[in-house]
């Protein structure tokens, strides 16, 4: 397995390797954003559920980390406008990080396509310099398809 990887790296075009490096960074970034937001939102939802349950049970003492805590502790009337404002603020908080995911999702197929085009061009250059055997063509197409598959793979996760 290690020999296949080193052979692939040795035969690949530098741009293709750069594309694979960028796609790897994208993949790590989107997974980090996903798990960071998932864990944070789960903790946040449990705190808010606890706060809302205590509010519905008539408790005056709320969780100090609750999102509605500062609004409700001030003694103001619980109006629909207050809850709408809190819902808007909570939605804004919950959707943090989606910009990063949308940028990654929209650019990864094009980065993979760029690696594909460069690999195909490199293959044509090698065909012109050598006798143009099937080994040269197969290696170049294989290199190009790896870049394409990597771009699609990362885009699917994003």
Number of residues assigned to the chain: 158
Q: Is the pTM of this model over 0.85?
A: no
Q: Does residue 75 register a pLDDT over 60?
A: no
Q: Domains of the chain: which residue ranges?
A: 14-157
Q: Does residue 101 register a pLDDT over 70?
A: yes
Instruction: Give whole-number Cα distances, 57 to 34, 51, 54, 61, 62, in Å.
Output: 34, 10, 5, 11, 11
Q: What is the pLDDT of residues 10-67, one digit of tens each?
A: 877 788 888 889 889 989 988 888 888 888 888 888 877 777 777 777 776 666 666 6
Task: Yes or no: say if 92 and 121 are a contact pair by the CB < 8 Å rule.
Answer: no
């Amino acid at each position: 397995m290690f020999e296949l990887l080193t052979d692939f790296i040795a035969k690949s075009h530098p741009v293709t390797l750069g594309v694979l490096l960028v796609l790897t960074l994208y993949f790590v970034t989107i997974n980090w954003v996903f798990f960071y937001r998932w864990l944070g939102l789960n903790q946040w939802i449990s705190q808010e559920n606890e706060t809302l349950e205590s509010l519905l049970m008539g408790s005056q003492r709320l969780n100090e980390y609750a999102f509605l805590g500062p609004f409700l502790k001030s003694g103001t009337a619980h109006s629909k406008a207050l809850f709408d404002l809190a819902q808007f603020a909570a939605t804004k908080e919950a959707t943090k990080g989606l910009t990063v995911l949308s940028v990654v999702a929209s650019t990864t197929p094009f980065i993979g396509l760029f690696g594909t085009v460069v690999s195909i061009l490199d293959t044509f250059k090698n065909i012109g310099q050598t006798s143009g055997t099937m080994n040269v063509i197969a290696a170049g197409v294989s290199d190009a398809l790896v870049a394409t598959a990597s771009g699609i793979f990362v885009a699917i996760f994003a």
